[in-house]
Amino acid sequence: MMSSKRITQAFVDRAEALTPQLHKARVYPKRQVEIVANEQAFQGWEVKDAGTAEAFNAGTLRQGDSVVLDFGDHQVGYVTFSIRNVDSNADAPLRLGLVFGEMPCEIGEDFANYDGWLSRSWLQDEIINVDVLPGTVTLPRRYTFRYMKITVLATSIRYHVTFPELYCETVTSADEENVVPLPGDVPDDLRELDRVGIKTLRDCMQTVFEDGPKRDRRLWIGDLRLQALVNYETFRSNDLVKRCLYLFAGMRLEDGQVGACLYEKPHPFVDDIYLYDYSLFFIATLYDYYAATQDRQSLLELWPIAVEQAEIALKRLDERGIVRDDDTWYCFLDWHDDLNKQAGAQAALIYNLKRGLLLARELGDSAAETFMQTACRQATAAAMAHLWDEERQFFVSGEGRQVSWASQIWMALAAVLDNAETAALLDRLMRENPAIGMSTPYLYHHFVEALLECGEREKALAQMRAYWGEMLADGADTFWELYNPADKRLSPYGSNLVNSYCHAWSCTPSYFIRKYFIDREGKYTG
Ligand code: RAM
């Protein structure tokens, strides 16, 4: 049974009126390739040159033949091809097998063996039958890919086929012209991180900030928050952030919580998923939006919903003032089966209350100011009294008093300790390296941000270079949803085939470089 949602239609309408136009461009394949098994290569698949794109357009394919086209970079869009029959008229329909892959693994591996727990339907393949030849086909679905495999499953004994033209019409709402070039003295490796970060964001920017254009193709507020930060430093599509905020505000869950994610079609609707940290991020995302735009009218309209998120979050505190823990998926923080969320959730609460407090002051809302300040003081005191382990010098989480990277990172971001103590905490974290580590670029982002916020610029740069830099060395055209340098096939979904390889929350090197290492005069300060 569907639960009833709290809909504020005027907000949804406001959001819909801000739906952006998509920019289109035609992209042709760059070459033909072969994907071959090689244990030394990333995820066990190597890409080998197998001929030019022109040779593909001029060549003939027979029943049973296949070809893999490489578009040279990550694409999001609609594929069109013209097909001609050769040697005879087409006396039977043409049957084609198509596979699209962001990564070589999606072309190399047989989808029939897929055993992940997310739907098989996320894997991008089709069988199409073409009744009339010669002809032109435009595939109705939007694909996200670099590689496209075509297999001729059936012609007839009389005819073969050729593809004189094939291209992808790419779509994005991002406006490249708004991106200010980096100053000349930025080192090449940082330029490359910035370029790929921007490309990642661009491909996720559609009529909302999608989390991943292959999967899940929807708006998650945790991803939105980071995309918005990169956007303010790059494309400056501030109305797209506004649209997303109004969508979340306009469609809340039964008890008023901002939902974790929402869909646009067939009409905007919010999913039932509630995550403690994600709902709270409505406050931080609104705070960042206001800081970037000074859009006071939107702030005024959305403010009551932000306050409400804080009120709802406080209801989860136990008699000690600590977020009640349980075994459900109540808070995100990171994909890690063994991560206890309690301390991270508490820190996310404090982090957002602090931003709520600043907004309350900005608005001169003294009741909200008192509320945020009191809640913040109490949540911080409770964290220090019950989650700080004086002996271990770490924050602990849950009944098992778990020490994890996520808990320390979020307490650092919440600035529960002073700057010097936070820097020492992060230093200890790196030295002692507790077993519950970081799985996603999302948590790596927060680690780098925590280092920067307490003034550890060198360490932050080194972390960013090591992590996202290694992703580049492993062949990233866009940054990935999951990346664990110690286990490169890692997937929280049971198969790396269904991982997203262009993922919103991974695009933040561009934000770090531009926000923290370029000064107001546009000079590089690294
Ligand atoms: C995944 C998506 C998304 C993330 C959620 C929590 O399904 O990758 O990016 O925000 O999880």
CB 493 within 8 A of CB 499: yes
Q: Does the beta carbon of 210 lie inside 6 Å of ligand 1? A: no
Please state the atom number of ligand 1 nearest to the C-alpha of residue 222: 10
Ligand 1 centre distance from Cα of residue 220 (Å) = 7
Position 516 in a domain: yes
- Minimum CA distance residue for ligand 1 atom 5: 220
Please state the atom number of ligand 1 nearest to the C-alpha of residue 332: 6
CB 230 within 8 A of CB 504: no
CA distance 357 to 368: 7
Ligand 1 centre distance from Cα of residue 331 (Å) = 12
CA distance 120 to 494: 11
Distance, C-alpha 416 to centroid of its chain = 27
Please state the atom number of ligand 1 nearest to the C-alpha of residue 261: 10
Ligand 1 centre distance from Cα of residue 439 (Å) = 13
Indicate the pTM of the whole model: 0.98
Residue 292 has a pLDDT of 98
Ligand 1 centre distance from Cα of residue 277 (Å) = 13
Ligand 1 centre distance from Cα of residue 211 (Å) = 7
Ligand 1 centre distance from Cα of residue 216 (Å) = 8
In this prediction, the residues of the chain whose per-residue pLDDT falls under 50 are 1
Residue 1 has a pLDDT of 46
Distance, C-alpha 261 to centroid of its chain = 12
Position 497 in a domain: yes
Q: List phi, psi (to 5°) of 96.
A: -120, 145
Count up the domains in the chain and report the number: 2
* Domain boundary pick from 127, 146, 172: 172
Residue 95 structural domain: 23-172
Residue 2 has a pLDDT of 55
* Domain boundary pick from 131, 146, 172: 172
Position 16 in a domain: no
Position 189 in a domain: no
* Domain boundary pick from 112, 146, 172: 172
Position 469 in a domain: yes
- Minimum CA distance residue for ligand 1 atom 9: 211
Position 431 in a domain: no
CA distance 260 to 365: 27
Q: Does the beta carbon of 222 lie inside 6 Å of ligand 1? A: yes
Q: The domain spanning residue 129 has which CATH number?
A: 2.60.120.260
Position 289 in a domain: no
Position 86 in a domain: yes
